Amino acid sequence: MNFGAIAQTRLSEIAKCSQPGGGVTRLPFTPEHKAALNHIRDWMTAAGLHQRMDAASTLIGRHDGPEGSKTLLIGSHQDSVPNGGRYDGIMGVVLACLALEKLKREGAKPACSVEVLAFADEEGVRFPTALLGPRALAGTYEKSTLSLEDSEGVALGTALASFGGDLARLDSLARAPSEVLGYLEAHIEQGPVLEGQDAALGVVTGICGIERNSLRFVGETGHAGTVPMADRRDALVAASRFVSATSDLARETHSIRATVGSLLVHPNAVNAIPDTTAFSLEIRSVSDGERQSFARQMRVFGTQIAQDSGLTFEMTKTYEQPAVACDPALSDALAKAVEQSGQRLVKLPSGATHDASAMSDLCPIAMLFVRCKNGLSHHPDEYASAADMGAAVNAIAGFLTSSPIRTPPEI
């Protein structure tokens, strides 16, 4: 069977579970989410999986392995960003089901118990939080998030309960680490590296840590036509020097991804010197140490710019998420499965956060990236080929029957 073509068909069908408009808009705990679950149930049935919905509305399909075996979890998310693509997240659920269906059709069995997880909310676009499903399994979810509201004033807890979730049982979802072998997630790369190396698949080495900072230069405004250039305390000029240096220094490190994504200027008038420029600085790296070192370096640089220009400078960290390393044993097994399926091995970090980030608090993780056209994601034109998805199905199936899965590493 052409499992890549089947994946393409299934993704096209489930993409119709969307709000009207371009691309795919499927938010958690909505009619579109409910319709999507019907498709996923069919995929799980075809793979011979026993199904259930947990209290966080994660749809779970289970294959029971040898008695006493640990459970390998494989999953991703069903939701999308507004007007997103048809592959991000949901492809990982399709490929997991197809890998198990492939083994079933071939009369082969995974070397352990396996559960396929279709998480409800990873994107965090309906509510100002995300990852409830994996965090509940890891025992790290916070009850306070249930009171967070969407743009229409509906609380997360209310939406979850209306969808069939059970708020009273969320605490009971936490899995025992001793019973879990690990977590595998397949996902489109969302970047250009695999395409640039002409590789269908990539084994992820780790998920970048993230920190976000709020920065501000404060100087003095004045008339654009009367204040001499040498006498100006222009906050926007200072910020422009900082932004340019941020890009240049990040390029030199090869391990840092630094972005200034928002900028506010005051008084924001064509004939007035800017007295205040407030902007963001996001820094990502698979090395927390290098990320923190880069942040310190930029703080020193901003302070120096301010001193040289007669301005003040502030830099405040507003968010931090540690980097997550993929498990060496699981990743090695996945790499061997990629090579044994006839694909060239490429290893690369993930600059984006995934369900795997939250699952790392429960168990070892591994991730498989699938090449996407032009590195495009969160866009209606997002695309992964049937051939590449078929290669991923083969690699996952091989991984599920590999000896490291049969003989679990210590957790």
Give residue-wise pLDDT tens across range 179-224: 999 999 999 999 999 999 999 999 999 999 999 999 999 999 999 9
Model pLDDT, residue 97 = 98
CA distance 130 to 208: 17
Q: CATH top-level class for 3-207+323-406?
A: alpha beta
Note the pLDDT of residue 408.
Answer: 46
pLDDT digits (tens, 9 = 90+) for 62-111: 999 988 889 999 999 999 999 999 999 999 999 999 999 999 999 999 99
Give the CA angle between residues 364, 370, 373 to the nearest 5°: 150
Nearby residues of 381 by Cβ (< 8 Å), 6 or more positions away: 85, 373
Q: Give the pLDDT mean for 17-27.
A: 97
3 state SS for the chain: CCHHHHHHHHHHHHCCCCCCCCCECCCCCCHHHHHHHHHHHHHHHHCCCEEEECCCCCEEEEECCCCCCCEEEEEEECCCCCCECCCCCHHHHHHHHHHHHHHHHCCCCCCCEEEEEEECCCCCCCCCCCCHHHHHHHCCCCHHHHHCECCCCCEHHHHHHHHCCCHHHHHHHCCCHHHEEEEEEEEECCCCHHHHCCCCEEEEEEECEEEEEEEEEECECCECCCCCHHHCECHHHHHHHHHHHHHHHHHHHCCCEEECCCEEEECCCCCECCCEEEEEEEEEECCHHHHHHHHHHHHHHHHHHHHHHCCEEEEEEEEEECCEECCHHHHHHHHHHHHHCCCCCCEEEECCCCHHHHHCCCCCEEEEEECCHHHCCCCCCCCCCHHHHHHHHHHHHHHHCCHHHHCCCCC
pLDDT tier, 406 (very low <50, low <70, confident <90, very high otherwise): low
Give the Cα separation of 345 and 327 in Å (integer): 17
Please state the pTM of the whole predicted model.
Answer: 0.88
- Lookup: tokens for 70: 């640990």
Q: Tell me which amino acid residue 333 is.
A: A
Ranges for all domains in the chain classified under CATH 3.40.630.10: 3-207+323-406
Are the C-beta atoms of residues 58 and 119 closer than 8 Å to each other? yes
Average confidence score pLDDT of the chain: 96
The topology (CATH level 3) of 209-321 is Alpha-Beta Plaits (3.30.70)
Neighbours of 163 (CB within 10 A): 17
Strand pairing of 113-119 and 209-218? unpaired
Percentage of the chain exceeding pLDDT 70:
98
User: Is the model's pLDDT at 268 over the cut of 50?
Assistant: yes
Neighbours of 178 (CB within 10 A): 8
Question: Above 80 in pLDDT, residue 407?
Answer: no
The CA angle 269-273-277, to the nearest 5 degrees, is 85
Across residues 368-373, what is the average pLDDT? 98
Is residue 242 very low, low, confident or very high in pLDDT (cuts 50, 70, 90)?
Answer: very high
The model's confidence at residue 11, banded by pLDDT at 50, 70 and 90, is very high
Residue 411, pLDDT > 50, answer no
Provide the terminal-to-terminal Cα distance of the chain, rounded to the nearest Å. 36
pLDDT of residue 62: 98
Q: Tell me: the pLDDT tens digits for 160-172?
A: 999 999 999 999 9
pLDDT at 403: 65
Question: Beta 312-321 vs 209-218: how paired, if at all?
Answer: antiparallel
pLDDT digits (tens, 9 = 90+) for 141-165: 999 999 999 999 999 999 999 999 9
Query: What is the rounded average pLDDT of the residues 44-55?
Result: 98
Q: Is the pLDDT of residue 264 over 60?
A: yes
Which residues of the chain form CATH 3.30.70.360? 209-321
The residues that bridge with 114 in the sheet, in sequence order, are: 63, 72
If you average pLDDT over residues 347-373, what whole number do you get?
Answer: 96
In the numeric block, which tokens belong to residue 106? 């071939």
Per-residue pLDDT, 410 = 45
Average confidence (pLDDT) over 244-264: 95
Which pLDDT tens digit goes with each residue over 326-345?
Answer: 999 999 999 999 999 999 99
Half-sphere exposure of 126 (CA within 13 A, CB side): 23
